[in-house]
Amino acid sequence: MKKGIKKKCVLMMAMVFMASAKCWAQYDGPVIFPTTELYDSGAMNAYVRALAETASARRELFEIYADKALEAFHHEQWWDVISYVGKALDTKCYNGDLYYVRGYAYEQLGKPFAAKRDYKKGKKYNSSLAAEALEELQEKMKRK
């Protein structure tokens, strides 16, 4: 180990020790870290269940908004497409093809920069449709 790195490690360890000693003195007792009692009480299981239920509810909401977005897409209701895709993505469930759909809607409304942004995001999330649309849009923008 290099001398400079070793010195930094020793200083860091000293700072951690001083911080823990300060915590001990400030609270007139030891700092209590989570123990097996937390797991034995079932609190951790309740947390994990709640997390799973929340994820399931978000996924359900995502599917509802994604379906509405695709229905609006088939009826060429571009502003509704943009709105529903936004709501679907707000659930934090990401789908590259939805970015493509919203990008296409923006393109139909004459908003190429917004379309380009969504096509890039769609490509990032592995949508081949978004990747192709991005290339085509960039070519169109170069010609203008």
Question: Residue ranges per domain, the chain?
Answer: 63-143
> At residue 38, does pLDDT exceed 70?
no
pLDDT per residue as tens digits for the range 54-110: 888 889 999 999 999 999 999 999 999 999 999 999 998 889 999 999 999 999 999
- Are 134 and 120 within 8 A, CB to CB? yes
Superfamily the domain 63-143 falls into: Tetratricopeptide repeat domain (1.25.40.10)
Indicate if the pLDDT at residue 138 is higher than 70: yes
Continuous H helices in 1-127:
3-26, 36-40, 43-74, 78-89, 96-108, 112-124
pTM over 0.75: no
